[in-house]
Structure 1
Amino acid sequence: MGDEWATHGYYGTVSHNSKAIYQFYLGWYDAVPANLHAHPPVERATRLIAALGGADRTLALARGAMAAGDYRWASDLLQNLVFAAPDNAAATALLAESYEQQGFQAESAIWRNQFLAAARDLRQGSTPRSAAQSTDLIAAIATAELLDSAATRFAPERFGARKLTVALDLTDRKEQAMLEANGSVLIGRVGALPAIPDVTIRGPRALLLAMLFLKQPVSAMQKAGLQVEGDAAALQHLIDALDPVPQGFDIVTP
């Protein structure tokens, strides 16, 4: 099969896809008990580097692996060193080189992109990424899923012990939904309105999403045409308790 170009891993790879299939059916656990409750990456890396004899010793081992062409082992050593000592410029530079070499060797375009993007981030820093999505994409996402997404960014410590029930009448989609917030959780439900809401919002869904995802002030959305009945100040407090949509995060550095 290796002689047939159609069986090559130009997109996925056998090792990558077989792991994905295993995890889909059986979960992430690989039957190695040491992996059940391992230390988090930074703490684990700190312990490993100490066990290897320190940063200088680890860097020397990585340089030896690079000289021998064992870029995978070099990356393994250096990734731990960078997590244990993010300010170690020599380790960061060599890790970028090890990733770059693996990118050059990768047959899979996806693997190549991952390796080369990691090398770029190590050399230039991570690039801020916009959280903006196309209006067509947002329109295709069900309201229930969007409310669930907003709930994952709810910070109850900023909301406090109060309770708030918000009725949502999305006129452009002929949908009814609700939000319930308390000092622990934010829950969204679609298909029903609360009997006695603290706040009722009426208008197109796009204006609601501008508050929930872009954190536009309630007053600005009212000027844009969103009708808000009830305690607008409490609604603004809820919006303030939502974390901003993440703009990307570091992967190759802690």
Structure 2
Amino acid sequence: QLLADSFEQQGYQSETMAWRNSYLQGAYELRTGHIADSIKMSSVDIIANTPTSGFLDFLAVSIDGNKAIELGLDFSLTISHPDLGEYYYAEISNGNLTAIQTDKPIKADATLTINKSDMSQILVTELTLANLLETQKASLKGDNESFMKLASTVEKFTPDFDIVPMPVSK
């Protein structure tokens, strides 16, 4: 209860909304022992309007770096969206993925050509990349093996984590 009181006071005195919300949510969790369900952020509309750079950033934090190093992942990837005329270049090395948007395609170890609308449908699990490749609505050229290894390093997040760690009861 004292820790919850402390978090509450720190929340009231915080200058930024992010710190305020974290402290107040932490106080709530400590007092009630309840972690509320998270807001569903994977609706079709949200995903359809999220830029590919946002997806690549999410992919970068989803990669298990140690697993990527164990698999020896060290390659580059160009993603082309013919429906939008957009290009992205990504590199993975040392367990990290970095990506940027480019004006034109950059030569890479693998090139994924996929419409942005189809990529959005993959992310909401309405389609699979394998299905798009089979029907030739998307193409993957170059180092397919490394691309598939990359997919195996992606971890799923659970939304029910503590905002602040709960104290261990003795």
Question: Which category describes the TM-score, using the shorter chain as reference length?
Answer: 0.5 to 0.7
**Within the alignment, does 1:196 sit opposite 2:107 as a pair?**
yes
CA offset at residue 220 of structure 1? 3.4
Count the aligned residue pairs.
148
In structure 1, the residue matched to 2:74 is: 163
TM-score (normalised: structure 2): 0.65
1:213–1:139 CA distance, 2 compared to 1 (3 A): closer
1:172–1:199 CA distance, 2 compared to 1 (3 A): same
CA offset at residue 167 of structure 1? 0.6
TM-score (normalised: structure 1): 0.46
In structure 2, the residue matched to 1:242 is: 154
1:132–1:223 CA distance, 2 compared to 1 (3 A): farther
Secondary structure of residue in 2 paired with 1:249: coil
CA offset at residue 200 of structure 1? 0.7
Match of 2:134 among 206, 213, 223: 223
| Aligned 8 A contact 2:47 2:120 in 1 | no
| Aligned 8 A contact 2:73 2:146 in 1 | no
| Aligned 8 A contact 1:155 1:241 in 2 | yes
In structure 1, the residue matched to 2:16 is: 23
| Identity value in percent | 13
Larger relative contact order (C-alpha < 8 A, sep ≥ 6)?
2
1:156–1:207 CA distance, 2 compared to 1 (3 A): farther
For the pair shown, which has the larger CA radius of gyration, 1 or 2? Answer: 1
CA offset at residue 131 of structure 1? 5.8
Q: 1:226 is matched by which residue type in structure 2?
A: A
| Aligned 8 A contact 1:212 1:239 in 2 | no
Unmatched tracts of structure 1, length 5 or more = 1-14, 29-71, 80-98, 100-114
CA offset at residue 179 of structure 1? 1.4
CA distance in 1, matches of 2:124, 2:10: 34
**Within the alignment, does 1:154 sit opposite 2:147 as a pair?**
no
Unmatched tracts of structure 2, length 5 or more = 1-8, 21-26
Quick check: which one's strand share is greater? 2
CA offset at residue 204 of structure 1? 1.1
Secondary structure of residue in 2 paired with 1:196: coil
CA offset at residue 217 of structure 1? 6.4
Secondary structure of residue in 2 paired with 1:152: helix
Q: 1:176 is matched by which residue type in structure 2?
A: Y
Secondary structure of residue in 1 paired with 2:16: helix
CA distance in 2, matches of 1:220, 1:233: 17
CA offset at residue 184 of structure 1? 2.8
CA distance in 2, matches of 1:146, 1:235: 16
